[in-house]
Every structure is written in C-alpha cells, then in structure tokens.
C-alpha cells in the first residue's frame, strides 16, 4: 500500500504515533504541499492514488510557481519540456463597438525572461510524484480517503481499503469536488457558467515565437499557449456548452480547421496533435479554507474558469504559504492543527484567493453579457493597461506574483 521508502511516523492500519500532517489528494497542489512540508523535517503522509488524466491539458506556470518547483527539486525534469511565455497578447474578438486594439505585454518590461512556462499537466504531476517517492519524512499511501474525523489531539483519516492514518493536521487537496470539504461542513458558494472548455494540443505551420494569445470572444476566451519546438501550442477554447459538444464531436481534421478559423489563421494550418478534453465551466469559493484540524488547498478551496493562467498558480501559492505557516508553528513547537495556526493560514490566503476569483469571474461574465456599457468598461480597462506604463507594469507584476505576502520559496532568487 505504501510506496514510500520508510514510515517515519504514524502507521497505516492501526494506532501509532500520528503524523504531524497528512495531505489528501495527489494532484499537483497536494504533491507540492506534501513535498514542501516534509522537506522541512515535518513528518508527513500523502494519501491518494496516482491518477493522471491524459486530456491534452497544460498549465502555464508563472515565475513564482517555477521558483517554488525548483526549490522542491521538481522543476529540473520538467524544464526541457516547458515553453517560455515571453509575451502575452490579448485580442478583443467580441465584435463590440468598444473593441480596443490588441494588447501586448512583454516579460522583459518587468525584468523577467518570461512570465512563466507552459508544460503538460500530466508531466508536472509525474515529476512531483518522482520527487515525493525520494523525499525523507514523506510517506506515500496509495489509497483514497473515505473520510476524516477530527478529534481532540489528532484527526483520523479512514482509507477506502479499511486502514486509517492519524495526523494532527489534515490538508484537503482532493480537488474541485473535495469529499473532505463536503464532510467538513465548510461553507461553500458554488456556481456554473453556460460554457465548457475544449482542450487539446495542436501542431501549426507558423512559429508561435513564445507568444501566448488569448482571444476574448462573446462565448468566452479562446487561448493558444506555446509548447516547446516553436510549432506546437496547447488550446483552451471556452465556448457555449452546445458549441463545445459539437466541437468535441468533430474528427481531428475538422477540429484542426475550426481552431485555425477561430485563431484567424494566426499560426497557419493547424493539426490536432494530442489527446482532447471537455471540461464544464464552474466556480467555487469557500468562506474560510479551514475547519477543525483541516486546511483546504488548491481546487478544494477555489475553482474558476481557465482565464489568465491563474488556477494552479493560486493552488501552488496555497501550498507554499502552508509550508511557511507550518514551519513557523514547528519552530515554536505549536500544534499544526490548532486554531491559531489555522487562522494564520486562512488570513494569509484571503486576499489573493478572493481577488483572483473575482477578477476571473468578472472578466468571463463581462464577455457573456453583450451589454454595451460593460463592453465599454472592459475595453477601457484593457486600453488603460496598454497605454499607462506604471499601471501596465503593476498589472504584469501582480499577475505573475502578488507582491504583498508572497510565500518565501516563491520569492527566493533563482
């Protein structure tokens, strides 16, 4: 059951010394959190089966996230397969009367080689998993959690196979439908959008020149993000649910042509060159990402549509902030699952999470409304960002990493 080399603390299947921390969910956020905490010498368990999904999905990892992954030792294996995002281009393709000209942002303007790097999600998870296998103080438990019950001094995680893990703090990184979040009674606000996203990878005739392009259409953003080699990009095409279903039913040749048309042939002829996915668009926010001996991170704590490459970057900031919080608690010999420690974490994540969720929601809804005053405001906002140097640089910097409260491993110089 355990694929970790050794069990430093706790026991799977019976009573024993509890782990300090048990992370549930072996996606990117859970793996990063478990690694970040364990490498500080804190006995940690990671509960969850390795379940990568091949749906052609990539993640654009912003500069701070890459620093964090470097610190965890998980970037080296990913780097040769990552494409730098040196320029971001936003094209208003709504057909609105108040359509601003295309906006272009260059990483060099804020002293960076790249805003971030784009990599296939499955490859990132694979690299984190490989690191986790070799990490001291980290025990991998290859089973799903059936539930977690908080007690006086520890929480007990029941496993699907009948065994159990005890820990002073449970970290729910079990994704958007988080069973642990549901069982905890944390207050949730969730909503849906009348949209789905088609994801795949495309080969194209013209080079992308490390430019990521987001077309804002009336039915959602249509984004092409560079992949290595110059002639491959990943696609996230957010559109109406019916249109998305129709696109998903097309054969590869027809889908390639549809993407080429939607991209205004910007990258020349397109050919589908990877697996595909179809993801319904939804949103979710929690009042507070903590409960009794429980912290929620990643999509267990926040979900929003894929606009501006924010979702996993936010999840990695959760993981890196949790590491900072638990490191201070360990130095002060405090219980990691105690109320003051949980409150410190919740406070540290409040503004970043609320601001990103609101900004993405607002932009997405403003595209869908079709109201002229809303179009005018969106157009003016983009125009101001393009024309006003200080605002432009502020938006770029904050988009990459919030300056206030950035976690330690994201700040450190590379």
122 exposure class (CB count in 10 Å sphere: 0-12, 13-18, 19+): middle
Whether 18 and 167 have beta carbons less than 8 Å apart is answered as: yes
Site for ligand FAD in 306-325 (CB under 6 A): 306, 309-313, 315
Residue 57 vs 378, nearer CB to ligand FAD: 57
**Cα–chain center distance at 271:** 27
Of residues 279, 330, 359, 395, which one binds ligand FAD by CB under 6 A? 279
Does position 25 interact with ligand FAD (CB under 6 A)? The reply is: yes
How far is Cα 227 from Cα 14, in angstroms, rounded to an integer? 47
Query: From the CB of 268, what's the least distance to ligand FAD, in Å?
Result: 23
Whether 356 and 314 have beta carbons less than 8 Å apart is answered as: yes
Of residues 18, 27, 100, 226, which one binds ligand FAD by CB under 6 A? 27
Query: From the CB of 366, what's the least distance to ligand FAD, in Å?
Result: 20
Query: From the CB of 163, what's the least distance to ligand FAD, in Å?
Result: 13
Does position 197 interact with ligand FAD (CB under 6 A)? The reply is: yes
Of residues 175, 220, 337, 379, which one binds ligand FAD by CB under 6 A? 175
What is the 3 state secondary structure string of the chain? Answer: CECCCCCCCCCCCCCCCCEEEEEECCCHHHHHHHHHHHCCCCCEEEECCCCCCCCCCEEEEEHHHHHHHHHHCCCCCCHHHCEEECEEEEEECCCCCCCCCCEEEEHHHHCCCCCEEEEEHHHHHHHHHHHHHHCCCEEEECCCEEEEEECCCCEEEEECCCCEEEEEEEEECCCCCCHHHHHHCCCEEEEEEEEEEEEEEEEECCCCCCEEEEEEECCEEEEEEEECCCCEEEEEEEEEHHHHHHHHHCCHHHHHHHHHHHCCCCCCCEEECCCCEEEEEEEEEECCCEECCEEECHHHCEECCCCCCCHHHHHHHHHHHHHHHHHHHHHCCCCCCCHHHHHHHHHHHHHHHHHHHHHHHHHHHHHHHCCHHHHHHHHHHHHHHHHCHHHHHHHHHHHHCCCCCCCHHHHCCC
Compute how many residues bind ligand FAD; rule: CB under 6 A: 32
Of residues 12, 45, 60, 270, which one binds ligand FAD by CB under 6 A? 60
- Which residues share a beta bridge with 138? 44
Of residues 38, 47, 107, 259, which one binds ligand FAD by CB under 6 A? 47
Whether 337 and 293 have beta carbons less than 8 Å apart is answered as: yes
Does position 353 interact with ligand FAD (CB under 6 A)? The reply is: no
Residue 167 vs 375, nearer CB to ligand FAD: 167
Residue 94 vs 313, nearer CB to ligand FAD: 313
List the x/- string, 356-395, binding to ligand FAD by CB under 6 A: ----------------------------------------
Residue 62 vs 96, nearer CB to ligand FAD: 62
Residue 247 vs 375, nearer CB to ligand FAD: 247
Query: From the CB of 342, what's the least distance to ligand FAD, in Å?
Result: 19
Does position 289 interact with ligand FAD (CB under 6 A)? The reply is: no
Of residues 12, 45, 59, 270, which one binds ligand FAD by CB under 6 A? 59
Does position 48 interact with ligand FAD (CB under 6 A)? The reply is: yes
Does position 226 interact with ligand FAD (CB under 6 A)? The reply is: no
Which window, 167-175, 186-194, 375-383, 393-401, contacts ligand FAD (CB under 6 A)?
A: 167-175
Site for ligand FAD in 228-257 (CB under 6 A): 236
Residue 169 vs 375, nearer CB to ligand FAD: 169
Residue 100 vs 305, nearer CB to ligand FAD: 305
Of residues 23, 24, 148, 186, which one binds ligand FAD by CB under 6 A? 24
By CB under 6 A, name the binding residues for ligand FAD.
Answer: 24-30, 47-48, 51, 57, 59-60, 144-145, 173-175, 179, 197, 199, 236, 279, 298-299, 306, 309-313, 315
């Amino acid at each position: 059951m355990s694929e970790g080399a050794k069990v430093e603390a706790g026991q799977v299947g019976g009573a024993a010394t509890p782990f300090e921390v048990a992370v549930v969910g072996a996606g990117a956020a859970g793996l990063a959190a478990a690694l970040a905490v364990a490498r500080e010498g804190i006995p940690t368990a990671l509960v969850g089966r390795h379940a990568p999904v091949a749906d052609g999905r990539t993640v654009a990892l912003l500069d701070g996230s890459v620093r964090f992954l470097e610190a965890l030792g998980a970037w080296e294996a990913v780097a040769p397969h990552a494409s730098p995002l040196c320029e971001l281009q936003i094209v208003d393709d709504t057909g609105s009367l108040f359509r601003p000209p295309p906006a272009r942002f260059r990483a060099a303007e804020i002293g960076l080689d790249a805003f971030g790097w784009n990599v296939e999600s499955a490859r990132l998870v694979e690299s984190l998993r490989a690191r986790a296998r070799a990490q001291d103080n980290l025990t991998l438990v290859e089973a799903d959690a059936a539930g977690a019950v908080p007690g006086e001094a520890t929480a007990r995680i029941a496993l699907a196979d009948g065994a159990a893990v005890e820990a002073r703090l449970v970290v729910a990184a079990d994704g958007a439908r988080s069973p642990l979040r549901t069982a905890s009674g944390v207050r949730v606000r969730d909503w849906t959008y009348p949209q789905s996203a088609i994801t795949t990878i495309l080969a194209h005739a013209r080079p992308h020149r490390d430019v990521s392009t987001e077309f804002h259409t009336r039915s959602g953003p249509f984004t092409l993000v560079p992949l290595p080699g110059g002639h491959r990009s990943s696609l996230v095409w957010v559109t109406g649910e019916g249109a998305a279903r129709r696109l998903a039913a097309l054969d590869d040749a027809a889908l390639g042509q549809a993407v080429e048309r939607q991209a205004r042939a910007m990258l020349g002829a397109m050919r589908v060159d990877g697996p595909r996915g179809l993801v319904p668009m939804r949103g979710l926010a929690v009042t507070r990402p903590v409960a009794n001996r429980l912290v929620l991170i990643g999509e267990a704590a926040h979900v929003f549509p894929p606009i501006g490459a924010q979702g996993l970057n936010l999840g990695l900031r959760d993981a890196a902030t949790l590491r900072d919080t638990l490191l201070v608690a360990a130095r002060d010999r405090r219980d990691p699952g105690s109320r003051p420690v949980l409150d410190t974490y919740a406070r540290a994540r409040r503004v970043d999470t609320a601001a990103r969720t609101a900004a993405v929601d607002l932009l997405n809804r403003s595209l869908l409304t079709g109201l002229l005053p809303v179009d005018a405001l969106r157009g003016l906002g983009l125009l101001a960002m393009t024309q006003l140097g200080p605002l432009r640089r502020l938006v770029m910097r904050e988009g990459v990493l919030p300056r206030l409260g950035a976690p330690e491993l994201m700040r450190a110089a590379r």
